[in-house]
Amino acid sequence: MVTGVGIDAGGTLLKLAYSENGTIKYRKSEYGQAESLLQWLKMLAPQAEVYLTGGKARWVKEKFFPDAELKDEFSSICTGATILFSKQADSAVGSYLLVNIGTGTSILLAGKGKGKRVGGSGLGGGTFMGLGQLLANTSDFEEMVNLVSKGDRRKTDLLVKDIYGDGGEPLAAEMTAANFGKLPLGGRDDHMAALVNMLAETLVLLSSQAALAEKVETVVFAGSTLTGNKPFKEALSAYTSMFGLKPIILENGEYCGALGALLQKDGSL
């Protein structure tokens, strides 16, 4: 029996977290299939309490669940992340930085179910899909990730060593001097690898500055853009470690908002 449902209606995806017989389950869909998913949910749980968050929450409320309760997006994300984080890592960490990479990216100071937004960027999953379609001539997420895995960003990015040659570099030789600085060289797989590298570099630079300002040492990454995207997760972890910070990729992190919306009613499972 489904007793409660949290729905995160984001910019690109609709994500559900629902409690069925004491177990939390998850589902998601793109908006092209959203109506089918929500109609299924209404049949599955006609009496369940529904909690909504995200940018399109009001649209879902008006069209499907007029009695649903709206929840603050950032509070929902932080609540869900803290619960998932406690199952994955040392719950005694205290405050941490949560980098939620959805269509765009929000950087939040989180801990113990509370949080505040301390930064963000328009770079995120929308950038990956949008520029990826231009660079790789495909709109398929899995195909894009596969291209990243096969690509070599050094064939597309201009590196410090490309400028200075052998020796004498004031910076590490493999550091990026200019993203996409070697275009039109490289193939579409190399271009996709360069895109992921640019996203990871930029988001980690922003996150490291926020971590320094907020005096935290742990950076937790979440969001639908990371699901099945091993190269992106590896790049985020590697760059975060370079700054002396501890990176954690949150399992089921794409459902932070939905889970938090569901559990804010009582704060516990």
Q: For residue range 202-243, list pLDDT tens digits in order.
A: 999 999 999 999 999 999 999 999 999 999 999 999 999 999
Give the distance from CA 237 to its chain's centroid. Answer: 13
State the residue for tokens 């040392």.
90
| Confidence class for position 48, pLDDT limits 50, 70, 90 | confident
| pLDDT surpassing 80 at residue 89 | no
Is residue 130 within 8 Å of 206, Cβ to Cβ? no
The answer as to whether 110 is a domain residue is no
CATH number at residue 49: 3.30.420.40
| Cβ(49)–Cβ(4) below 8 Å | yes
183 and 243 share a domain?
A: yes
User: Which of the following is catalytic: 20, 35, 49, 73?
Assistant: 73
Which pTM does this prediction carry? 0.90
In a domain, 80, yes or no: no
Q: Are residues 155 and 222 in the same domain?
A: yes
Confirm whether 91 is domain-assigned: no
Q: Is residue 82 part of a domain?
A: no
Where in the sequence is the domain holding 23, given as residue range(s)?
2-74+256-263
Q: Going by DSSP bridges, is the β-strand pair 246-249/218-222 parallel, antiparallel, or unpaired?
A: parallel
User: What dihedral angle (degrees, nearest 10) is formed by the CA atoms of 102, 122, 68, 226?
Assistant: 0
pLDDT, position 67: 92
Q: How many angstroms separate the CA atoms of 27 and 34, rounded?
A: 11
Please indicate, yes or no, whether residues 136 and 39 belong to a single structural domain of this protein: no
In the chain, the number of structural domains is 2
pLDDT tens-digit series, residues 124-166: 999 999 999 999 999 999 999 999 999 999 999 999 999 987 7
73 is catalytic: yes
Q: State the residue for tokens 């050094």.
A: 154
Please report whether residue 155 resides in a domain: yes
157 and 238 fall within a common domain:
yes
Euclidean distance between CA atoms 256 and 229, whole angstroms: 18
132 and 234 part of one domain: yes
Within a domain: residue 115? Answer: no
In terms of domains, do 129 and 244 share one?
yes
